[in-house]
Amino acid sequence: MYKATKFMVDSVSTQGGYVWYYLPDLSRRWGEMEAYKTMIWVQDGGTVNVGHMLLDAYNVTGNEYFYQAAEKAAAAAMIWGQSNEGGWNYLIDFAGDRSLKNGMLLLAKNGWRLEEFQHYYGNDTYDDDVTSDAARFLLRMYLEKLDPKYKPAS
């Protein structure tokens, strides 16, 4: 478990975050749609799920490495991607809002059932429990060690 987690943290993650699927050579990646290398998914199956799994591994093993990996998912990814209004979108693009808007429009233009990605305007979403799942993960991070850096974001 440690070896697999180390590979995910060191070779797969983008600034602590994750998408749903990767090609074995990591040349392409997907969330609900194909993602750029600067994008991570908040929505179920992405960063939040990985963060919960890392906290579960920490609780079972007591190995601090798993907690530190969860911190990367929470601090480096989720807090960075939280909007000024307090919620989250389906995905985060570390290249910024302009890249996110252009990327979403480009990637979703021919996608059936991807209408929500065709009209990005800096919005948060409660669809698919995106914002509530992200908040629960950050609350769990806070409760694990009562680290005050997680309290404002949750």
Q: What's this model's pTM, rounded to 2 decimal places?
A: 0.87
How large is the average pLDDT for residues 36-41? 92
How large is the average pLDDT for residues 20-49? 92
Give me the number of domains the chain comprises.
1
**Of 57 and 125, more confident:** 57
Domain of residue 84 covers 2-150
- Average pLDDT in the chain: 87
What per-residue confidence (pLDDT) applies to 117?
59
CA distances from 138 to 13, 17, 32 (A): 18, 14, 22
Q: Which phi and psi angles does 93 have, rounded to 5°?
A: -120, 115
